[in-house]
Chain A
């Protein structure tokens, strides 16, 4: 057999082995992702931490901070969105700790539900908590306990456990309000694309130096948000 034929035979054997390996890897990836934990446990984490962080800050509906604060920062988010969770845990805390607590900025959460069918009910549940001045506790606690998107974890039992953890006092009223707030979730979800947003989280800002509510997209860091706040002030 010529060396060229030898090389050809070896290459084709290697290629066949690579194909078998690739099939095995893809199957393993699929099986692992199908059976992996989808999170969203009803035994909540971070209840005390969230409630302590937000203690003493005024809340009305979904607005966190002094209602008279000159600058309003609006977050368009989806409670199932992992990037929003990252923002909630890494980017926003310094803003809440400084600019919101000292009355310079008020933060508003508006639903922009794009992840899946459990997103609108989850958003409405947050608004219903907001009706009892626990909206931001609800949002922050949801993010802390967020599961894999669209894995089905955000069911009624999960939403109710978040409400309890967030300190919603009248659960019967919260339950009733949830259905009525779905229309508001739809309205803010329709509003976001009008501001040019196509992903979450997206932010808009309004202050003495802005022309109404101005979109600022997804700031890359706390510093970028602080810069936008300064420009709007």
Chain B
């Protein structure tokens, strides 16, 4: 079985994490202005979720935690060592786990779906899969400072 190069994984992780920073920043900015993110097609789901008690943890909008998480994931893509591989995996795992919890809350407690939150959850899910692949395939690999398109443990 062949795996993508770590260089390719890092590029996709960086791209998706940058997208995530954009999504989380949009939600945070709208919330800071006393508004809710605008749902597509006039749905009020975004307003309902944004105004629910689950939108804040310890008085801080969860979008702010999202920004921090995505920035850390973005940073992990710029380094080629085990700390970045493992750190990126842990952050993505936390983000993915929290996204699962929030999606459950949206469906069963708030009974409203915020399209921006779903977008962020999808990004986190893909980032978790990529970070896990990066860690499983490349953990313990020598630190690389240049592009390495070749595969490691690419057979099997």
* CB contact under 8 A between A151 and B109, given known A22-B97, A198-B44, A217-B34: yes
| B35 and A198 within 8 A (CB) | yes
| B35 and A217 within 8 A (CB) | yes
| B101 and A29 within 8 A (CB) | yes
What class of interface size applies to chain B in its complex with A? 35 or more
Query: 1/0 per position for A96-139, CB-CB distance to B under 8 A?
Result: 00000000000000000011110000000000000000000000
Inside 8 A of A115's CB, which chain B residues have their CB? 48, 51-52, 112
A8 to B152, CA, bound (A): 13
The yes or no answer to A52 lying at the interface (CB within 8 A) is: no
A7 to B135, CA, bound (A): 12
Q: Which of B82-106 contact A (CB under 8 A)?
A: 82, 85-86, 89-90, 93-94, 96-98, 100-101, 104-105
| B140 and A4 within 8 A (CB) | yes
* CB contact under 8 A between A19 and B34, given known A82-B51, A114-B47, A199-B51: no
The yes or no answer to A41 lying at the interface (CB within 8 A) is: no
A22 to B95, CA, bound (A): 10
Majority secondary structure of chain A interface residues (helix, strand, loop or mixed): helix
Most chain A CB neighbours (cut-off 10 Å) among B44, B89, B93, B104: B44
The yes or no answer to B129 lying at the interface (CB within 8 A) is: no
The yes or no answer to A183 lying at the interface (CB within 8 A) is: no
Stretch of A9-17, A42-50, A61-69 on the interface side: A9-17
Inside 8 A of B98's CB, which chain A residues have their CB? 26
Inside 8 A of A114's CB, which chain B residues have their CB? 44, 47-48, 51
| A12 and B135 within 8 A (CB) | yes
| B110 and A199 within 8 A (CB) | no
Inside 8 A of B105's CB, which chain A residues have their CB? 33
A–B Cβ pairs within 8 angstroms, 18 of them: A8-B141, A11-B82, A12-B135, A12-B136, A15-B132, A18-B93, A22-B94, A26-B100, A82-B51, A83-B51, A149-B48, A149-B110, A150-B110, A193-B42, A198-B36, A198-B46, A199-B35, A200-B51
Q: Which 7 A-B pairs have the closest CB atoms?
A: A8-B140, A218-B34, A199-B47, A22-B97, A199-B36, A11-B139, A114-B44
Give chain A's interface residues, CB within 8 Å of chain B.
Answer: 4-9, 11-12, 14-15, 18-19, 22-23, 25-26, 29-30, 33-34, 81-83, 114-117, 148-151, 193, 198-200, 217-220
